[in-house]
Structure 1
Amino acid sequence: MRPQKRDELVRESLKIFYREGFHATGMDRLAAETGISKTTMFRHFRTKEDLILAVLRLRDEEFRNWLFRRMEQAGRPRAQLLAMFDALGEWFASPGFSSCMFIKAASEYPSRSHPIHAQSAEHKRLLFQRVERIAKAAGAPDPAGLARGLLLLKEGAIVTAHIGHEKDPAADARRIAERLMADVPA
């Protein structure tokens, strides 16, 4: 498979898996929706799980790049931490929002030793590292503790937005984050 065709398969599969889920989406459906034959798919990805891992790597790169770029636009480190929730609000309001692909993947592959679960955990670990660095730059007395708290708010806001029982979970999480950050210099 040409690299361009492989990239197209991964991008299109990301959309389908995000919308439909991993176990619910079979290779026949992927072939039908992407227009790429199963034979061609299996030439590059030995298994459906190999394709899922490629999809998760792409989503990780795209999501972190988007989120951190959006946070950096806020300027100072303290403002960057709060901007995470503004970015979440934009994401939740976007057409096709369907929760977090990594939460879904970890739920569908619950064994921590499974590569798909591990890839999902790695995404969350990378988010933590970056948020912790920003919290340290902001002058937080306990950067790791603040990062854990902010990311718990982030994950809760994502699940709440997905379930849809609150009007603006990103704004709610932001208000709580402001209280968590009371001891962080402006």
Structure 2
Amino acid sequence: MSKVDDILKTAERLFDLQGFHSTGIDQIVKEASVTPRTLYRHFHSKEDLVLAVLEQREIRFLKQLEQKLDEYKFNAPLWSLIISELEKWFTLESSNGCLFLRALAEFSYKNAEIEQRVLLHKQRTFELFKKIFEKEFPDQFTEKAEILIFIIEGATALAPIIGGKAAIQRANALALQLLASTTHPLFH
């Protein structure tokens, strides 16, 4: 792993556990086993590091989700696959809530670039959900994607409060009520 990877991985873990403003550069440098000079050679400011962490996290999240969608076998509704992947994310990555929304909360009105990065991530996620529903529901795919994104965002927001497993169970139950009756022949 390169020094940049060490810095990004360490910063992401600390930002997720402690928040962005509560995590200092000195702590990142120490835990990544790099010098401040090395960190600043690659990231000119803490905000640049935050942007890089968010970009890496988005790439990993969307790549993981798209890979599962590519492997999809028509034995369950696609929305259930997405919720299942979110459950894995809570287990393997974090159940501390959405790092993007937490970045927005901490940097809102302070850093337009971070705000834009968060909005772009949410838009890309929504576009992916629309693409998922487009084939099955050419007349309702936007509405279905909106329902799913609200369910997912709600589960992500509640995960740190009620636990990832409980949030996923509630998301599944809600999706079953709102999406299942019309999204898959097994649920008719």
Scaled by the length of structure 1, the TM-score of the pair is 0.87
8 Å contact from structure 1 (residues 78, 184) kept in 2: no
Deviations 1:56-85 (A, max 9, x none): 100000111122323444423972222111
Q: Distance in 1 between matches of 2:61 and 2:6?
A: 18
Deviates more, 1:141-150 or 1:175-184: 175-184
* 2:78 corresponding residue in structure 1: 80
* 1:54 corresponding residue in structure 2: 52
Q: Distance in 1 between matches of 2:140 and 2:110?
A: 28
8 Å contact from structure 1 (residues 78, 138) kept in 2: no
Deviations 1:87-146 (A, max 9, x none): 222333447532211111111112396111211111111111111011111225311111
Find the partner of 2:107 among 106, 109, 113: 109
Q: 3-state SS of the aligned residue for 1:28?
A: helix
Q: 3-state SS of the aligned residue for 1:98?
A: coil
* 2:21 corresponding residue in structure 1: 23
Q: Distance in 1 between matches of 2:95 and 2:81?
A: 19
Q: Deviation of residue 183 (structure 1)?
A: 3.0
Distance 1:167 1:64, change over 3 A: closer
Q: 3-state SS of the aligned residue for 1:46?
A: coil
Q: 3-state SS of the aligned residue for 1:168?
A: helix
- % of aligned pairs identical? 26
Distance 1:113 1:21, change over 3 A: closer
Distance 1:5 1:94, change over 3 A: closer
Runs of 4+ displaced beyond 6 Å = none
* 2:156 corresponding residue in structure 1: 158
Q: 3-state SS of the aligned residue for 1:183?
A: helix
* 2:169 corresponding residue in structure 1: 171
Q: Distance in 2 between matches of 1:102 and 1:130?
A: 17
Q: Which runs of 5+ in 1 are unaligned?
A: none
Amino acid at match of 1:183: T
* 1:131 corresponding residue in structure 2: 129
Is the aligned partner of 1:9 residue 2:13?
A: no
Q: Which runs of 5+ in 2 are unaligned?
A: none
Count of equivalent residues: 184
